[in-house]
């Protein structure tokens, strides 16, 4: 039985009240809290630093040099972004202004920790 214009049927068969336009937009996540957006951006920046550290350790320990090490950074960063997206239930627009922001924003934020830990772990294991 298709839902009627007045409302949808819930589990008990009773009709739920019709949601107004404002409530529907709020449920869809069209209204974004600027404080929450700032917090989400900072948290994403911390996650980028963490993925850079992990990618640097992996690249250094596995003795990757040159572009192979950079490929490890890109791979770990994309994998970490996919895991963050999955943790949000693939509803990234409820947490960021655009759906692709979790993959694109601050993507170069972990490059300096990556280089630091790449050279540190490579030198400690393979040179000294």
Nearest CA to 48 out of 114, 123, 110 is that of 110
Q: Which residues in the chain land under pLDDT 50? A: 1, 4-6
pLDDT at 62: 94
Q: Is this prediction's pTM over 0.75?
A: no
- Torsion, Cα 71 77 83 88, to 10 degrees, reads -150
Rounded (10°) angle between helices 111-122 and 67-87: 130
pLDDT at 69: 93
pLDDT at 7: 53
Long-range CB contacts (within 8 A, 24+) of 23-27: none
């Amino acid at each position: 039985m298709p839902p009627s214009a007045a409302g949808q049927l819930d589990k008990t068969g009773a009709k739920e009240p019709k949601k107004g336009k404002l409530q529907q937009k709020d449920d869809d996540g069209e209204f974004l809290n600027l404080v929450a957006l700032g917090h989400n951006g900072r948290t994403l920046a911390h996650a980028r630093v963490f993925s850079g550290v992990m990618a640097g350790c992996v690249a250094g320990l596995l003795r990757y040099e040159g572009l192979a090490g950079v490929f490890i950074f890109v791979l770990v960063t994309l994998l970490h972004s996919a895991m963050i997206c999955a943790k949000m239930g693939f509803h990234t627009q409820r947490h960021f202004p655009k759906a692709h922001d979790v993959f694109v924003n601050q993507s170069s934020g972990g490059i300096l920790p990556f280089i630091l830990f790449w050279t540190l772990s490579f030198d400690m294991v393979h040179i000294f």
